[in-house]
Amino acid sequence: MRPPTTSVPTTSVPADPTLADLAPAQRLRRLELTVTRRLDGLLQGQLRGLLPGPGSELAGSREYRPGEDEVRRMDWAVTARTTVPHVREVDADRELTTWLLVDASPSMEYGTAELDKRELSVAAVAAVGFLTAGTGNRLGALVLGTDGLRRFPARSGRTHLLRLLRALLHAPRADVGAPPTGPDLAGAFTAVPRVAVRRGLVVVVSDFLDGLPDEDDAQPPWEPALRRLAARHQVLAVEITDPREWELPDVGLVTLVDPESGRCREVWTGDPELRRRYAGAAAAQRAQVARVLRRSGAGHLALRTDRDWTADIVRHVYAQRRLATASAATRGGVA
């Protein structure tokens, strides 16, 4: 089920201002301030090193080896619990390379709130970029549009991130019903390992509607590729939705347009039974996406255009921190 869009007259009507139209430089600066003030520091310590060695991320404990281990690395809590000297093992701090896969298909051009889905995806990219920015850390992106897959090489620095955000904001809007000429979401997942050769963080920003089957237990075509990607990298799936994709308002007769195929259908939204069935089907569809992402081993962050996206990111980070703390406590207990 694709997000519906209401038809508009063919006469020239001024478009509503978007995030790109209203002073782009000031909007990007405000977006940066929002991220750094409200979210900065919340993700610190969440990114594990990939190799064992000197660092700051606790990886567990092992028995003390006289003459080899430094006394300052003693794990006194485990030593007291086991009555056997133990030392802490930590993961090495390494430069982080983050790759973004941003869905810019026609279904992402939809929105009925302050931000549309495309603008919210830019905000999510900004949050990831500013929060993972650091000395030596690099950020690259693949943007999936109707004209193909556009690649932005992995580079470091604020200038590179702002250039990427401007490119996303100013990219041409996809035509409703225009046939795609490039790869689908499954093809985009397959292309990521070709650029992300080192293990790192992969963030996918999409509505995940591409090829989603009608059956709840069926496998979408992009699930196998996502599983292979999550087996090597830490994958975070950022799901973008709009309130009208969850429920229909009672606004009388409307014409709904599928942005991917261009198909139209007139719907009488005054029918309460129709609205109930629509809301049920939409909830089942989103639950299906969540199950597929969970089966694939990817983290799941759901953002909506009618909610405070910064608060949703904060809640997600705190939930991940609780899981990491519980996992560390379990490892310590086993040790």
Q: Which pLDDT tens digit goes with each residue over 27-68?
A: 556 666 666 655 654 444 444 443 344 555 566 788 988 877
- How much of the chain, in percent, has pLDDT values that exceed 90? 36
CATH number where 294 lies: 3.40.50
CA distance 292 to 226: 10
| Cβ burial, residue 46 (10 Å; 0-12/13-18/19+) | middle
Residue 72: pLDDT above 60?
yes
Q: Which of 87-96, 144-153, 200-209 is most confident?
A: 200-209
Residue-wise pLDDT tens digits, 153-201: 999 888 898 889 888 888 777 666 666 666 889 999 999 999 998 888 9
102 and 85 in one domain? no
Residue 204: pLDDT above 60?
yes
204 and 120 in one domain? yes
CA distance 149 to 155: 18
110 and 80 in one domain? no
159 and 296 in one domain? yes
With respect to residue 8, please indicate whether it lies within any of the assigned structural domains: no
135 sits in the region (left: phi over 0; alpha: psi -120 to 50; else beta) called: beta
With respect to residue 307, please indicate whether it lies within any of the assigned structural domains: yes
CA distance 211 to 222: 8
CA distance 96 to 209: 30
Strands (E), the chain: 5-6, 52-63, 86-91, 97-103, 138-145, 148-155, 201-206, 234-241, 253-257, 264-268, 299-304
The one-letter amino acid code at 195 reads: V
Q: Which of 63-72, 139-148, 149-158, 236-245 has the lowest mean pLDDT?
A: 63-72
With respect to residue 157, please indicate whether it lies within any of the assigned structural domains: yes
241 and 168 in one domain? yes
Longest pairwise C-alpha distance within the chain: 83
With respect to residue 64, please indicate whether it lies within any of the assigned structural domains: yes
Residue 23: pLDDT above 50?
no
- The pTM score is 0.74
Cβ neighbours, 10 Å, residue 146: 16
Q: Say how many domains are in the chain.
A: 2
126 and 67 in one domain? no
69 and 120 in one domain? no
With respect to residue 1, please indicate whether it lies within any of the assigned structural domains: no
Q: How far is CA 246 from CA 90, 243, 323, in A?
A: 44, 5, 29
204 and 117 in one domain? yes
Helix (H, G, I), strand (E, B) or coil at 274: helix
Structural domain that includes position 292:
31-39+94-334
Contacts of 12 (CB under 8 A, 6+ apart): none
208 and 65 in one domain? no
76 and 125 in one domain? no
Per-residue model confidence (pLDDT) at position 49: 42
Per-residue pLDDT, averaged over 71-89, amounts to 88
244 and 155 in one domain? yes
